[in-house]
Structures are given as C-alpha cells and as structure tokens.
C-alpha cells in the first residue's frame, strides 16, 4: 500500500488517489507553430525512467485536487509531493 | 540432441534419471556472432530458434541478464487466444494460434497446449452486441468464434452468479473454442533446448551495458562478460526496453507498468475454460495442478519493480467474486508481478530502427505470451531479411507519426487506464 501525501489533506492511503501520468510532458502552447513530429512526441513518446519520476496524482476520493509527486519507479518510494504551481 | 520419448523415459528410469543430457549448454561468449538477441525470454528464445530453423543462421547468441525464462514468460497467466477485431492483430495472433497446435511436436517438448476455450462474459445487451460484432470480424478472418446466450454460458460455468439480484448479470458471452492455455516455462525451455541443439549460444548472467555504433551501424555490444562483435542485434527485453533504448539514444512510445497475477490453493477440477469478467478486469483459469490462476489490471502507475501492491489484488479479486462468489473461500497461495512494456496504442512494435542492424521487439502490453511463436517467427524474418514480414509490417514504429495506430481497445495513450 502506498501512502501518498496530498499537499492539501496530508497523508492518505493509495486507495483515495488516481494516477495522472508523467508530469514532465508539456503540451505545446496554444497558437504556437508546432511540427507534426513534436506533436506526436507530446502525445506518444515518454522518457519512462527507472528511478525518479515526476508524475501527476489526483486526490479523487478526497479533496479532488490534482498535484505533483516525485516517486521512484524501481522502489515505489515517494520523495515529496507539491501543488501544481510549486516546484517539486 | 537426445530425443524425448516414452523410450528415452523408460531407458533413463533404469539409471534413476541421473544420465539425462543437459537440455542446453552453458557456453562462454565468443568474440563475434552474426546475430545477438538480447533477452532470454520466450520471444528471444523463439526468435533465435526460428533464425536457425527458418533462415539457417546459427551463429547466434542470446544474452540474458538473469536466467532464461525468469521474466514475463515465467510470470504470465498462460492464456492463448486470437480474439481480436482489427485485421493486423487478427492475422498476427492467428498465426500464433496455428503454431501452438503442433508446438509440442515441433519442439519435442510438451508445452501442455490446452485448447479449453476462452469465454468473454457479457453483462449488458450493448456489450453482447459489441461481442457479436467482434465475433463476426473474427469469423471473417477465419478465426473461430461463437456467441453464447445466458443458458449456454450457464451450462459451462453453472457456479457463476446467475442469481436475479446480482450486480452484473451474465447475459451471454463470446467464446473462442480454440483459445486456451499452455505451460509457460515449458515454452521457454522447449525453444531454448532446440535453439541450443542447432548451435545457438544461450549465455545467462550476461548483462548488456552498452552498444558500439559506428556511422549509424551497429558493430558490437558491451556486456558484463566482455565486448562481443556483431552486425545485427535484436532487442526482446519487454519491460526493460526503454533502459536499453536509452543507451541507443532512442526514445520510444513505451511506459513500464507492473501487472500482478496470483494463484489460489489447488482445488479439484471446477473451471474447465478460461473465463474473463466483462464488467471489470478479471480473468481466470484453473491450472493442471488445480490452482485458480487469476489476473486483472495494472497497478496503475509507472513501475519497474517486479512486485505490486495489495490494493490492486483486492480490486481484481472483488471483480472475480462478483462473477464467481464461491471463490470467496479459496485461500490465496501466492502473487507476483511482471513489468509490462505498455505501448501507447496497446499494440506491439516489431520493426527495424534508425540504427542499421538494430531490431526492436517490444510493446507487448498484457498479451505477449500467446504471441511467443508468431513473434519469434516474424522477428526472425525481420532480422534475417532486414525487412518486416508482411504480418508485422503494421506493427511498425513509424505508426505513431503516420497516424496508423492500432488501438484495439480504444484507450488512447494512457496505458495505466487500460
């Protein structure tokens, strides 16, 4: 069981959260000229690291806020979490 | 190589089974090979076997970081099926189904192929309609499929919940009678033994640490047991694909996720088919030892750990109890996890790469085991001929740029949801 610290509610069990994927993936800005390759990279291509991974979680059965977490994909250790605006 | 038969069994019984030949050797790596396959799992071993058998390329090494068959080929739920709707998938997996039928004879190794039928339960009329459509597509591609109504399902699995009050009533099912199971370890060992007998070197405890690429062309691999020269390298490393691709400066549409499976204590014969629950993600078959072999969803977050968490086991089994309430008293024997190379459209990638002589076999998501023979067959063709077989042409890497993605489940590029 993962214990995840929601930046708003504190430590809660994994059951209250939904995963939101790699948080380093950036959508190209609206109105920006973007090549097909860059767009495809954004949609499909991932760094998929073994080790520290920055990712989105959603406290879906709690305060319903999205936030960021830094977690190890090999050990599942969660280093820290932060709101979307803060630096991790 | 010693042939396995009733006579060899009797003969060796007289010597208390002490004089069996080793099934495969343990050679030192040579300085150079024509082809190096990285990954001694089902797909890697099958690829080496078909390189030798179909293409006469026997100066081949399989480099395995741990021991052969220790990854996903030894961690899956052993289900065989080709019940796909899209043509590319249907044709590819159906080749595999045909190969399973005489694989034991071909390998002279009992892979315990058991075409016991796979039943996908439907719980709403809409779902049954969708299954009818999939079944029709399968039949148009020459694959067996039958639509079962509620009464027909009840005859096959009478102990499922057919009560009036159940949350997800069973309204029917789609069945592929030729679907079934096989003994996963035997598949790895059978391919290993035959590949070895044709001259393939199976090198275990040999981790690839880097690649030598000159002018866009592969010239060798660096390993924990020294440098080995080669002109061709095939990657069959499933969940570790990104880790090796990083060393080749190749970014891929792949995420690693952990998928768990579990078995119950052994019980008397009860479940004679493979059954999947249609209102959640749960599937089950009974092993020859009597254990219920069960699996379901990914744990739902990126992971390279070959173990998962209990909440997902609980979630999967709660789905299982919704369809089979009598499983509630089964004791669980063990659970384990494997790392899935989840591709972004749910379909594998078998292709050449931007580096001359480097070939990619990955993106198997939940379903690599059933494809072991067909994957090895077409990947060997791709390596030997330096061009894809017609069956894996649609599984090219370029599809993520051309738009020809094969999203059978319609999930989109979020593998943890699927």
Enumerate the residues of chain A whose CB falls inside 8 A of the CB of residue B397: none
ipTM surpasses 0.85? yes
* A49 within a domain of the structure (yes/no): yes
Q: Among B378, B262, B370, B361, which Cα is nearest to B320's?
A: B262
Q: Measure the CA–CA gap between B240 and A85, rounded to whole angstroms.
A: 33
Q: Using a CB–CB cutoff of 8 Å, tell me whether A38 touches chain B.
A: no
Q: Is B401 on the interface with A (CB under 8 A)?
A: yes
B402 touches chain A (CB under 8 A): no
Q: Which residues of A6-22 are buried (b: 16+ CB within 10 A; e: fewer)?
A: bbeeeebebebbebbbe
CA distance linking residue A30 with residue A7, whole number of Å: 29
Res B418: pLDDT: 62
The two tokens of residue B300 are: 């739902």
Q: For chain B, say whether A73 makes contact (Cβ under 8 Å).
A: yes
Query: What CA–CA distance (Å, rounded) separates B236 from B288?
Result: 29
pLDDT at B417: 85
- Nearest chain B alpha carbon to A3: B309
Cα nearest neighbour of B258 on chain A:
A73
- Closest-CA residue of chain B to A45: B253
Encode pLDDT of A22-76 as tens digits. Answer: 999 999 999 999 999 999 999 999 999 999 999 999 999 999 999 999 999 999 9
B328: number of Cβ within 10 Å = 9
In a domain, A7, yes or no: yes
Quick one: closest CA in B to A57, which residue?
A: B301
| CB within 8 Å of A74: residues ≥ 6 apart | A50, A51, B303, B304, B305
A43 touching chain B per CB within 8 A:
yes
Instruction: Identify the domain containing residue A45 by its residue range.
Output: 3-25+38-82
Place of tokens 């796909």: B84
What pLDDT tens digit does each residue of chain B (418 aa) get?
A: 889 999 999 999 999 999 999 999 999 999 999 999 999 999 999 999 999 999 999 999 999 999 999 999 999 999 999 999 999 999 999 999 999 999 999 999 999 999 999 999 999 999 999 999 999 999 999 999 999 999 999 999 999 999 989 999 999 999 999 999 999 999 999 999 999 999 999 999 999 999 999 999 999 999 999 999 999 999 999 999 999 999 999 999 999 999 999 999 999 999 999 999 999 999 999 999 999 999 999 999 999 999 999 999 999 999 999 999 999 999 999 999 999 999 999 999 999 999 999 999 999 999 999 999 999 999 999 999 999 999 999 999 999 999 999 999 888 899 998 6
Buried b (16+ CB within 10 A) or exposed e, B362-396: bbbbbbbbbbbbbbbbbbbbbbbeeebbebbebbb
Instruction: Confirm whether A30 is domain-assigned.
Output: no
State the pLDDT at residue B1.
86
User: Token pair for residue B228?
Assistant: 């080995």
A56 located within any domain? yes
State the pLDDT at residue B61: 98
Please indicate, yes or no, if residue A31 is contained in any of the structural domains.
no
Instruction: Decide if A41 and B301 are in contact by the 8 Å CB cutoff.
Output: no
Residue closest to A3 by CA, chosen among B27, B56, B120, B310: B310
Q: Is residue A33 part of a domain?
A: no
Asked if B414 has any chain A CB less than 8 Å from its own CB, the reply is yes
**Whole-number Å distance between alpha carbons of B315 and B361:** 31
The DSSP call for residue B64 is -
In a domain, A78, yes or no: yes
Out of A2, A43, A75, closest to residue B309 by CB = A2
CATH number of the domain at A59, please: 3.30.2270.10
Query: CA nearest B50: which of B106, B113, B119, B121?
Result: B106
B38, B418, B49: which is closest to B207 by C-alpha?
Answer: B38
Determine, yes or no, domain membership for A32. no
Beta strands in B111-169 (DSSP E): 118-122, 146-149
Buried b (16+ CB within 10 A) or exposed e, B10-41: eebeeeeeeeeeebbeeeebeeebebbbbbbb
List the structure tokens of B335. 């659970």
Number of domains into which chain A is organized: 1
CA distance B339 to A53: 16
Asked if A27 has any chain B CB less than 8 Å from its own CB, the reply is no
């Amino acid at each position: 069981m993962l214990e995840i610290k929601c930046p708003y509610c504190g430590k809660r069990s994994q059951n209250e959260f939904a995963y939101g994927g790699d948080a380093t993936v950036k959508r190209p800005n609206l109105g920006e000229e973007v090549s097909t390759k860059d767009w495809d990279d954004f949609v499909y291509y991932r760094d998929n690291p073994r080790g520290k991974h920055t990712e989105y979680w959603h406290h879906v059965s709690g305060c319903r806020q999205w936030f960021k977490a830094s977690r190890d994909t090999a050990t599942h250790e969660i280093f820290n979490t932060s709101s979307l605006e803060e630096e991790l | 190589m010693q042939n396995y038969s009733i006579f060899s069994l009797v003969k060796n019984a007289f010597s208390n089974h002490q004089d069996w030949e080793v099934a495969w050797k343990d050679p030192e790596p040579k300085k150079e090979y024509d082809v190096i396959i990285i990954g001694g799992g089902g797909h890697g071993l099958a690829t080496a076997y078909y390189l030798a058998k179909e293409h006469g390329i026997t100066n081949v090494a399989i480099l395995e970081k741990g021991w052969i068959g220790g990854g996903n080929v030894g961690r899956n739920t052993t289900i065989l099926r080709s019940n796909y709707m899209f043509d590319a998938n249907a044709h590819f997996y159906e080749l595999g189904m045909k190969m399973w039928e005489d694989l034991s004879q071909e390998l002279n190794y009992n892979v315990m192929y058991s075409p016991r039928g796979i039943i996908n339960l439907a719980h709403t009329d809409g779902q049954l309609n969708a299954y009818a459509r999939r079944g029709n597509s399968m039949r148009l591609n020459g694959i067996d499929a039958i639509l079962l109504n509620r009464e027909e399902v009840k005859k096959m699995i009478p102990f499922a919940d057919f009560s009036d009050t159940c949350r997800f009533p069973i309204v029917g099912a789609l069945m592929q009678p030729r679907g079934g199971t096989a003994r996963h370890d035997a598949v790895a060992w059978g391919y290993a033994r035959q590949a070895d007998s044709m001259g393939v070197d199976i090198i275990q405890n040999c981790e690839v640490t880097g690649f030598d690429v000159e002018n866009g062309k592969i010239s060798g691999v660096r390993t924990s047991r020294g440098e080995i020269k080669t002109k061709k390298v095939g990657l069959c490393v499933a969940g570790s694909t990104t880790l090796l691709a990083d060393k080749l400066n190749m970014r891929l549409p792949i995420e690693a996720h952990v998928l768990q499976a579990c078995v119950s204590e052994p019980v008397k014969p009860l479940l004679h088919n493979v059954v999947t629950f249609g209102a959640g993600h749960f599937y089950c078959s009974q092993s020859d030892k009597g254990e219920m072999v069960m699996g379901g969803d990914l744990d739902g977050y990126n992971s390279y750990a070959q173990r998962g968490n209990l909440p997902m086991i609980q979630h999967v089994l709660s789905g299982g109890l919704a369809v089979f309430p009598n499983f509630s008293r089964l004791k669980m024997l063990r659970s384990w996890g494997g790392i899935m190379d989840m591709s972004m459209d749910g379909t594998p990638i078998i292709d050449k790469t931007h580096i001359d002589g480097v070939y990619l076999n990955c993106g198997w998501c939940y379903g690599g085991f059933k494809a072991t023979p067909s994957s090895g067959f077409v990947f060997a063709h791709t390596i030997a001929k330096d061009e894809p077989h017609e069956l894996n042409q649609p599984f090219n890497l370029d599809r993520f740029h051309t738009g020809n993605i094969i999203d059978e489940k319609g999930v989109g590029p979020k593998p943890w949801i699927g």
